[in-house]
Amino acid sequence: MFDLPIVTPISDNSSLFESISNNIVDKGYSISPYALPKDLTTLLLEHITKLTKENYARAGIGRAKEHAISDFIRTDEVSWITGNSEASCAWIKWTTSLQNYLNRRLFLGLFSFESHYSHYTAGDFYKKHKDAFKGGENRVLSVVVYLNQNWSAADGGELVIYENQLSAAPIVDNRVAVVRPSLGTIVVFLSEEFPHEVLPAKRDRYSIAGWFHLNNSITNKAEPLS
């Protein structure tokens, strides 16, 4: 008898990326429970336990000149990801491969990516909002992953995704999904299409939120290119 060779597991994302891609085509959003590769999840979990109060800043709404902090809209804290740790690099590597996959499959033209760690303490929330507005900034696809172990229904903190509709529409319940922020769950959706909110939780809640952008220098041209 001889020992079987030890094979180092290499995370193969292709079936996950294919399912995300198919969901985006079919519905405009995708929810993959417990789907983030284990090695990446472990790195990210370790990393967020090392982040201290100084690494986070109160989250704002709007950009640059319009940037404002509002206790009515959101109360979480964020830490922008720059790739200065092993975990953040692994995260960026993973989102880059997702970006490449979606560009090849769907010709989305995703050009750049920004993301932050979010920390909601008990009672924190982020009221219903959209991540982008048509004709405004060029966020096209949002991705959220969750880093909470043993999350139970009683802990709250769900992400509620709504159908995009006029407020006067006669539909009473326009929720399309209610997502528990459990470890490794991945949510991807078209940024301009889905209003969503974060409900208050009973305990600390950790997530990463990120956005793929189109190429600004092309899409912001007001005049037709001649």
Could you list the residues that contact ligand OGA (CB under 6 A)? 118, 126, 131, 144, 159, 181, 196, 198, 207, 209
Minimum CB separation of residue 47 from ligand OGA in Å reads: 17
Minimum CB distance to Mn ion smaller for 131 or for 137: 131
Q: How many residues bind Mn ion (CB under 5 A)?
A: 1
Closest contact distance (angstroms) between CB of 151 and ligand OGA is: 12
Q: Are 196 and 160 in contact (CB under 8 A)?
A: yes
CB of 86: closest distance to ligand OGA in angstroms? 23
Nearer to Mn ion, 161 or 183 (CB): 161
At 7, give phi and psi (nearest 5°): -100, 120
Shortest reach from residue 209's CB to ligand OGA, in Å:
3
Q: Does 77 bind Mn ion (CB under 5 A)?
A: no
Measured from the CB atom, the residue of 99 and 118 that comes closer to ligand OGA is 118
Q: Which residues in the 198-217 window bind Mn ion by CB under 5 A?
A: none
The strand order across the sheet containing 159-162 reads 126-129, 196-198, 159-162, 175-179
Could you give the CA distance from residue 63 to residue 142 in angstroms, rounded to a whole number?
A: 16
- Distance of closest approach, residue 95 Cβ to Mn ion, in angstroms: 16
Residues 56, 119: contact at Cβ < 8 Å?
Answer: yes
- Site track 113-132 with Mn ion (rule: CB under 5 A), x = hit: ------------------x-
Q: Measured in whole angstroms, how far is the alpha carbon of residue 82 from the centre of its chain? A: 16
Q: How far apart, in whole angstroms, are the C-alpha atoms of residue 20 and residue 108? A: 13
The item of Mn ion, ligand OGA, none sharing an interface with residue 207, based on CB under 5 to 8 Å by kind, is ligand OGA
CB under 5 to 8 A by kind: which of Mn ion, ligand OGA, none does 132 bind? none
Separation CA 28–CA 218 (nearest Å) = 24
In this complex, which beta carbon is closest to Mn ion, that of residue 131 or of residue 193?
Answer: 131
* DSSP secondary structure of 80-146: E--S-SHHHHHHHHHHHHHHHHHHHHH-----EEEEEEEEE-TT--EEEE-S--TTSS-EEEEEEEE
> For the sheet containing 112-120, what is the strand order?
29-32, 186-190, 139-146, 205-213, 112-120, 77-80, 57-58
- Is the CB of 105 or the CB of 130 nearer to ligand OGA? 130
214 binds, options Mn ion, ligand OGA, none, Cβ within 5 to 8 A by partner type: none
Q: Which chain residues interact with Mn ion by CB under 5 A?
A: 131
